[in-house]
Amino acid sequence: MAATLTAPAPEAPARTVPHPNRGGWRSRWPLLPLIATVLLPALPYGFAGGGGPGVGPADIASGIAVLVCVGRLLYLRQRPLSGAAALVLGLPAVGFAVATVTAADPAAALPGLVRYLQVFVLVPAAVCLLLKDAHGFRIVAGALVVLALVQGVVGVDQYVTGTGASYMGEEVRAVGTFGPSDIMGMATVVAYGLLAAAAFALRTPRNAPAWLRPAAAVVAVGLIVPLALSFSRGVWIATALALLVALSMTGRRQALTSLAVLGATGVVLVGGFGIGSEMIAERAASVTQVTRAPDRSVNDRYTMWSAAGSMWREQPVAGVGLKGFPAHRDAHASIGLSSGSDTAGAGQEFRRQALLSPHNMYLLILSEQGLIGLTAVVGSWAAILVGAVRRLVRARSRGHAAVDCGLVAVALMTWQSVNFLYSDIGGPTTVLGGVVLGLAAWWALAEPGKAGTA
């Protein structure tokens, strides 16, 4: 039998496997305005605020992020926010609009309307639209950690060298690059970074490099130092509660272990090395002394709170109007209110800073926007927080890869909700509140396929 010759089959062309990082940043360039919004507050305070222009570089970057969203929606015809997300994020705009229209001077209220829409509606919506997946979420959260590290290093140096803001007669208060006029700026960004780093240490992303978890833990523990040296009681309370909530979402054993490590770290840093031990102890003790012999700052705060309540009782439905608190303050505050707070140090001469807000976001909204505004804003925030917690519980039970993002979202949203009991908006870090709100809203309201993937 003659042998049959068979021509060899043509060799299949080699399959090209795309590199996972190839083109990654080209598809993620819309995140750049968000990253800039997070990092630009680190610029020296005199450039971004503190007597300078009311619009800082971070505000400009946030505006670019909003414009990028608008352009992508118009050009790419992508599906905008879901109905639930649009309702939750857009609800506060109702209260803002009503408070502006019903204000005694609507023209004077317009700058307040723009600011509130920027921080509580437009920037959070832009974050939700620009984040494609959990990886983008981690990039923005990582930028918060970088900002916290920069400000924390500057703050610790201020304490060590005696070049910080004036506190108890010494220029030792850590304020970072924000200056004494924005006394809580550094504390705020350090708290954001600490919570994000702690969440990544507690639930490290899958397939992350081996060094990420210990590095995140070291960063979280290290940021305790500048946070303590900020001497900001409200930030301490908010950070402690947010950490407890995050730990409770990780399981009993890990929570107890982490609490033991944090407690030992605090004892070593404050007790062993004596880092601001006396001042920190005195400041912490003053938290429990608000009803007997409070210091002047506490007395002023209570007086401002009372004034805010009086404004609301006078205009319970729509409030006195956006930006109306300063104009109505003297008519509702007692004579015990001081004319302002003293600020000095950190490269700034002595200056008297007027008290123009109650240092309580909820009372500020109640006084200026009434029950309509408070219901809309608090209802929106509560929906985001509850939705974030529910999705995190569900993600843990199903073993989703993005549990770390859920921990970050819940911790940051808890911190913001608690800290607003002792602060309100103002200063270069204000826009960061919108980014934090957007991160939490993305986790709580994004489509399950986006929030649940790595």
Higher pLDDT, residue 256 or 424: 424
- Tokens 């519980």 belong to 393
Confidence bin at 22 (pLDDT 50/70/90): very low
- How, if at all, do strands 348-354 and 340-345 pair? antiparallel
Q: Which pLDDT score is estimated for 18?
A: 43
Residues 347, 176, 124, CA angle at the centre, nearest 5°?
A: 130
Phi, psi of 299, deg, nearest 5: -60, -45
CA 304, distance to chain mean position in Å, is 24
Task: Output helix, strand, coil percentages for the chain, rounded to the nearest 5.
Answer: 65, 5, 30
80-138 tens-digit pLDDT: 788 899 999 999 999 999 999 998 888 889 999 999 999 999 999 999 999 988 999 99
Query: To the nearest whole number, what is the mean pLDDT of the chain?
Result: 83
307-345 tens-digit pLDDT: 999 999 999 999 999 999 988 888 887 776 766 666 666
Query: Is the predicted pLDDT of residue 3 greater than 50, yes or no?
Result: no
Confidence bin at 441 (pLDDT 50/70/90): very high
192-219 tens-digit pLDDT: 999 999 999 998 888 888 899 999 999 9
What average pLDDT does this structure show over 416-423?
94
Residue 20 burial class via C-beta count within 10 angstroms: exposed 0-12, middle 13-18, buried 19 and up: exposed
Q: Which pLDDT score is estimated for 450?
A: 57
350-403 tens-digit pLDDT: 666 777 788 899 999 999 999 999 999 999 999 999 999 999 999 888 877 789
Query: Is the predicted pLDDT of residue 176 greater than 80, yes or no?
Result: yes
What average pLDDT does this structure show over 210-237?
91
Element spanning 280, H or E: helix 277-285
Distance, in Å, from the CA atom of 265 to the CA atom of 258, rounded to the nearest integer, reads 10
Take residue 165 and report the two structure tokens written for it.
């803001």
Phi, psi of 164, deg, nearest 5: -90, -165
Beta-bridge mates of residue 352 = 342
Residue 349 burial class via C-beta count within 10 angstroms: exposed 0-12, middle 13-18, buried 19 and up: exposed
